[in-house]
Amino acid sequence: MTPAPLIVADALSKSYGQSGQHVIRALDGVSLSVLTGERVAVVGKSGSGKSTLLNLLAGLDRPTAGSLKIDGRQLDRFTRNEMARYRCQTVGIIFQSFQLLPQRTALQNVELPLMLSGVPSRRRRLQALEWLDRVGLASRAAHLPYALSGGEQQRVAIARALVHHPRLLLADEPTGNLDSVTADQIQSLLLDLCSDGSVTFVLVTHDDHLASRCCNRTVAMGDGKLMEGGHDAIL
């Protein structure tokens, strides 16, 4: 049986600036389907609209035009509350700059999505510890982010992104701030955690090696559009 699409974007656009003034079309009519369990890399030059697309998928921003369905639900019509619930239950996100809360320990950072979903404290702590263990950082649970290396911080961020079993994992240049050896370790970890098909993965990257290693499909963006060859039929 063919898996159902988890993401269906149809002519999705995002512009910045008011009409009459100079308008930036950060995303310009992108149509893209991603099947459940698929791992898709989005590549393209800086400024091509990759992060804009990812932020729309994450529910961090709203499109100016077009439609975006996630699991059959029309994300662009969600209320604020529905969007907040979507972000904390359905999505896990990993950023280039880790974005851990600086005054919270590694464990507290990983617990955060569970806290937002109202998981009781004991269960929350156990689940977060289990995930710190999975990313190889059980012994660093009580450390604050400043006391962790870049690679360790990204591991904490990966645990935080996956602890609540999101259906959709999004990553924006996750190895962009890391040296090549550490980047390689983070790649292996992502591959290890995402290859069983239980999570759909959209990865924004400049790194062709990361794209081909971690993903089974690559789409390319240029000037806010999917480029020739990267065109993607609506299912």
State the Cα–Cα distance between residues 162 and 148, nearest whole angstrom: 20
Beta-bridge partners for 5:
35
- Residue 194, helix vs strand vs coil: helix
In terms of Cβ atoms closer than 10 Å to its own Cβ (0-12, 13-18, 19+), residue 202 is buried
The overall longest dimension of the chain from CA atoms, in Å, is 56
The yes or no reply on residue 52 touching Mg ion (CB under 5 A) is no
The yes or no reply on residue 44 touching ligand ADP (CB under 6 A) is yes
**Are the C-beta atoms of 106 and 160 separated by less than 8 Å?**
no
H or E element at residue 226 = strand 225-226
Member of 50, 87, 164, 225 binding ligand ADP (CB under 6 A): 50
The yes or no reply on residue 175 touching ligand ADP (CB under 6 A) is no
Nearer to ligand ADP by Cβ, of 42 and 137: the residue is 42
In whole angstroms, how close is the CB of 172 to Mg ion at the nearest point? Answer: 6
168 phi and psi angles, rounded to 5 deg: -125, 120
In whole angstroms, how close is the CB of 54 to Mg ion at the nearest point? Answer: 8
The yes or no reply on residue 26 touching ligand ADP (CB under 6 A) is yes
The yes or no reply on residue 51 touching Mg ion (CB under 5 A) is yes
**Are the C-beta atoms of 131 and 111 separated by less than 8 Å?**
no
The yes or no reply on residue 49 touching ligand ADP (CB under 6 A) is yes
In whole angstroms, how close is the CB of 61 to Mg ion at the nearest point? Answer: 13
The yes or no reply on residue 46 touching ligand ADP (CB under 6 A) is yes
Binding to ligand ADP in span 5-24, by CB under 6 A: 16, 24
Which entry of ligand ADP, Mg ion, none binds 24, CB below 5 to 8 A by partner kind?
A: ligand ADP
Residue 10: CB atoms within 10 Å: 14
Q: For binding to ligand ADP (CB under 6 A), which residues are involved? A: 16, 24, 26, 44, 46-52
